[in-house]
Amino acid sequence: MHQRTQVRWPVLLLVILALASAGGRAKSFLRSTWAAVAPQQAAAAEVPGIETKADEPQSEVKPRPSGGQGGGQGVFAEGKLEVGDKKREYRLIVPKSVDLTKPTPLVFAFHGLFDSKNLMPMYSQLDKLAEEKGFILVFPNGLNRHWSIIPALAKDDIAFFDALYARLTAEYNVDLNRVYLTGMSNGAYFSNLIASQRTEIIAAIATHSGGIGFVAAKPPEGKHKYPVLVVHGVDDSIVNIDEGRKQRDLYLKWGHKVEYVEVPGHNHFWAHKVDVNHKIWDFFVAHPKR
């Protein structure tokens, strides 16, 4: 009985996200549904993982500077941007370890359903990774705390990404060969969507506890087959492990490089137990845009 219920979760999640995109009465339904299953942060005990690694690239890729200037260092928790008729928000981290005169990697981190730009840094600790490794990190905020995952309904969110990318590359000297996406749950689905729509911009992506969603309908267009890191807990009760495996298999079928990390005994939480942040960064460093 437990297994049958668990398998239905990916379908239910897609229904929830589609309703969220439509707005209106769906919000009360979404809140009541999510309240019953909202995850709590898991303990960080070391466990072995099941991993499939992509082939390491052989040649060095030189930085491609955007030439942006004028931006400063620090934590900018209340970044605002008008996109069309909507006011969008983001949290930007530019650590002191970043040399503003040199081309710098840029990482977009997309939060999960009913998550936010302020909550994701708390459980992911990606801001500490940015300080350690010296990259620019931005947490965009989804409207009504979610991301649309149906291409036809995601136009506003894609426009937000485009506008934020344009602002950051104009204000900071971003290395255009090293722009990456990561996301948790709903944010993982959205990372797949953005990458499939912006293959000329994205170097690589890392998805955590999510699936490929409607991107599965057809292979991403564009010459650049962005590498993909998939991280998923075997005991995920929100997005079943089968969704992570499906994502892995589809990208391999489409000719993308894929690294797969399956975490035994792990539910729908950020996988600190396998040092996931350093796995993500090592994957990004190994896969600039070529």
Q: What is the pLDDT of residues 137-159, one digit of tens each?
A: 999 999 999 999 999 999 999 99
> Is 42 part of any domain?
no
> Is 44 part of any domain?
no
The per-residue pLDDT for range 192-232, each reduced to its tens digit, is 999 999 999 999 999 999 999 999 999 999 989 999 999 99
> Is 41 part of any domain?
no
Please give the C-alpha separations between residue 5 and each of 10, 18, 40, 268, in angstroms, as whole numbers: 10, 20, 20, 15
Would you write out the chain's pLDDT as a tens digit for each of its 290 residues? Answer: 333 334 344 444 454 444 444 444 444 433 433 333 333 333 333 344 567 776 654 458 999 999 999 999 999 999 999 999 999 999 999 999 999 999 999 999 999 999 999 999 999 999 999 999 999 999 999 999 999 999 999 999 999 999 999 999 999 999 999 999 999 999 999 999 999 999 999 999 999 999 999 999 999 999 899 999 999 999 999 999 999 999 999 999 999 999 999 999 999 999 999 999 999 999 999 999 99
Contacts of residue 233, defined as CB under 8 A and 6 or more positions apart, other chains included, come to 209, 241, 262, 263, 265, 266, 267, 268, 269, 271
3-state secondary structure of 20: helix
Q: Which residue has the tokens 């993909």?
A: 228
Please give the C-alpha separations between residue 280 and each of 119, 183, 204, 243, in angstroms, as whole numbers: 19, 11, 10, 19
What is the domain count for the chain?
Answer: 1
Which pLDDT value is given to residue 60? 87
CATH number reported for the structural domain that contains residue 237 in this entry: 3.40.50.1820
Distance in angstroms (rounded) separating the CA atoms of residues 105 and 288: 9
> Is 45 part of any domain?
no
* Pick from 170, 173, 164: nearest CA to 98: 173
> Is 187 part of any domain?
yes
Distance in angstroms (rounded) separating the CA atoms of residues 150 and 152: 6
Domain that holds residue 61: 2-36+50-286
Which pLDDT value is given to residue 208? 98
pTM value is 0.84
Which pLDDT value is given to residue 181? 98
